[in-house]
Amino acid sequence: FLPHLVAAMEEVEETYIMVKPDGVQRGLVGEIISRFEKKGFLLKGLKLFQCPKELAEEHYKDLKDKPFFPKLIDYITSGPVVCMAWEGVGVVASARKLIGATNPFQAEPGTIRGDLAVQTGRNVVHGSDSPENGKREIALWFKEGELCSWVPVQAPWLRE
């Protein structure tokens, strides 16, 4: 219906963003959600969730041979996480920029990790690294009925 929305749909991507257990314990959930909300991305799914070990292992399966893998699984399952699905044009790369480098000491000020974290093993947030992984991870962490498609009133004020 709105021409700018239809034009944008071709480029629309989805990314899986997660506030890790340290972010939840430190009271950073609202702050982290705000960064994506204010940027202008569309929230499609959101829940507080205690991650089972099997899911953590599946999510991080590409890292299973790394020496830090067991500690990573302990970390991700150590308390509730906040799972989010965000949609937008270029949202995958843009979210990675908002999140900052994996090592918070290398993350630029202004990024979530640059502003809010000090250690790679406690870097408060996850973001998918490709559109393919965005789809894979959203399907892994959410059931179909947990995702909403909606048009926010601000849509025409975000894209010309």
Judge whether 123 is annotated as a binding position: yes
CA–CA separation, 142 vs 122, rounded Å? 24
Nearer residue to ligand UDP within complex by CB, 17 or 29? 17
Helix ranges restricted to H, the chain: 3-9, 21-25, 29-39, 53-59, 69-76, 91-99, 112-116, 131-141, 155-158
Active site residues: 126
Helices 131-141/91-99 angle, 10° precision: 80
Nearer residue to Mg ion within complex by CB, 58 or 159? 58
Q: Report if residue 59 touches ligand UDP, rule: CB under 6 A.
A: no
The CA–CA distances, whole Å, from 114 to 68, 73, 99 equal 22, 23, 8
- Among residue numbers 90 through 129, which ones bind ligand UDP (CB under 6 A)? 102, 120-121, 123, 126, 129
* Closest residue to Mg ion in the complex (CB): 129
Cβ–Cβ < 8 Å for 146, 43: no
* Closest residue to ligand UDP in the complex (CB): 102
Nearer residue to Mg ion within complex by CB, 44 or 59? 59
Judge whether 102 is annotated as a binding position: yes
Site string for ligand UDP, 12-51 (x = CB under 6 A): ----------------------------------------
Helices 29-39/91-99 angle, 10° precision: 140
Numbered residues of the known binding site for ATP = 20, 68, 96, 102, 113, 123
For Mg ion, the binding residues (CB under 5 A) are 129
